[in-house]
Amino acid sequence: MTYSSALYAEPLQEVASQSTPPPKQASQPDQPALRLNPQPQPRAETARASATAPSAESVAAANTRSAAGLSGADGGSGAGLNAGTSAALSAVPLSSADDDQMLAQAQRRKYQRLLGMLDAKPGQHLLEIGCGWGAMAEAAAERGLTLTGITLSEKQLAWAKARLDGSPLAPRVELRLQDYRDVTETFDHIISIEMFEAVGEEYWPTYMETLRERLRPGGTAALQVITISDDIFEDYKASPDFIQHYIFPGGMLPTVGRFDAAVQAAGLEVMQRDFHGKDYARTLRAWHRRFLAREPEVRALGYDGRFIRMWRYYLSYCEAGFLDNRIDVMQVALRHQAGAEDLT
């Protein structure tokens, strides 16, 4: 069975992407949505998934019940669980496959696919907006690219620098604590994974304009973006859902149409686009198994039962959204429109 490049695996704390605050800041400390952010554990300590994972029915039921322990965790009108999605969860069998190996391979394929969408050549300079824990930086450097990665997370920055310390790839990588709006150089290409939806609707134009301004003539940008279906966007926007309330405050998923409008308004055009929502659902299921298998370690890090219920609900909530086609994930390549201004 093959998996799309939309799949990816990271340690527990690497699941969440960074959020960009509305005020422009050159740097700032971590602002995790749940306000509890211990240091990530080394990859070598990632446990394998349990071969006796609970049934899909029990996971769906447990997480639906656990929501009752969270004030206001009702899913609102967004992407989450309802009778139909609970049934969809039950229809997907759990596997005893080696999740660690599967996810690691899929993670690498995702990076290679995004880099391939750029058609990046050795020696070219790549900007990564939201560089996370440094895995993309490694993948780019392995292809002979030079990468500048920026993040607002001090912990992510420290972790990423440590993983590259002493590596022969390190000379090709520069990592900074920096807001994307403060970058002044231009680059051959830009890559950004699940950052657009974190900046908030008000800043979608700024984000796209930054891509255009930071790209050299002929440059391309490859983005991975989670989208929401048109028919629920207005309700989702009007009433924050579980994810916006508990996990990613300030975030806003775009519809494909609204994303495209922001692209066009900035003088960019879509060159390639693929969707991988069902693969993301399988990724979330694998994350959930890994999380359950490591619950004692999670508690040892200081997370209590309430957090564990919340995180399990989050994983199932998102899985259900992808299975029910309320949300999707796209990988998209952008470039300057022919004749667009400000290409120098």
pLDDT digits (tens, 9 = 90+) for 97-131: 578 888 999 999 999 999 999 999 999 999 999 99
pLDDT computed for residue 97 by the predictor: 52
Q: Is residue 126 part of a domain?
A: yes
pLDDT digits (tens, 9 = 90+) for 274-298: 999 999 999 999 999 999 999 999 9
Q: Quick check: 327 pLDDT over 60?
A: yes
What confidence tier does 317 reach under pLDDT thresholds 50, 70, 90?
A: very high
Q: Is residue 19 part of a domain?
A: no
Amino acid at 318: C
Categorise residue 246: left if φ over 0, alpha if ψ from -120 to 50, beta otherwise.
alpha
Q: Is residue 48 part of a domain?
A: no
DSSP H or E run through 324: none
Number of domains the chain is built from: 1
Q: Is residue 282 part of a domain?
A: yes
Q: Is residue 123 part of a domain?
A: yes
Contacts of 223 (CB under 8 A, 6+ apart): 191, 192, 193, 195, 196, 331, 332, 334
Active site residues: 318
Instruction: Tell me the residue range of the domain where 151 lies.
Output: 58-335
pLDDT computed for residue 108 by the predictor: 93
Q: Is residue 154 part of a domain?
A: yes
283 is written with which tokens?
A: 């990724």
pLDDT computed for residue 120 by the predictor: 93
Look up the CATH number of the domain holding residue 148: 3.40.50.150
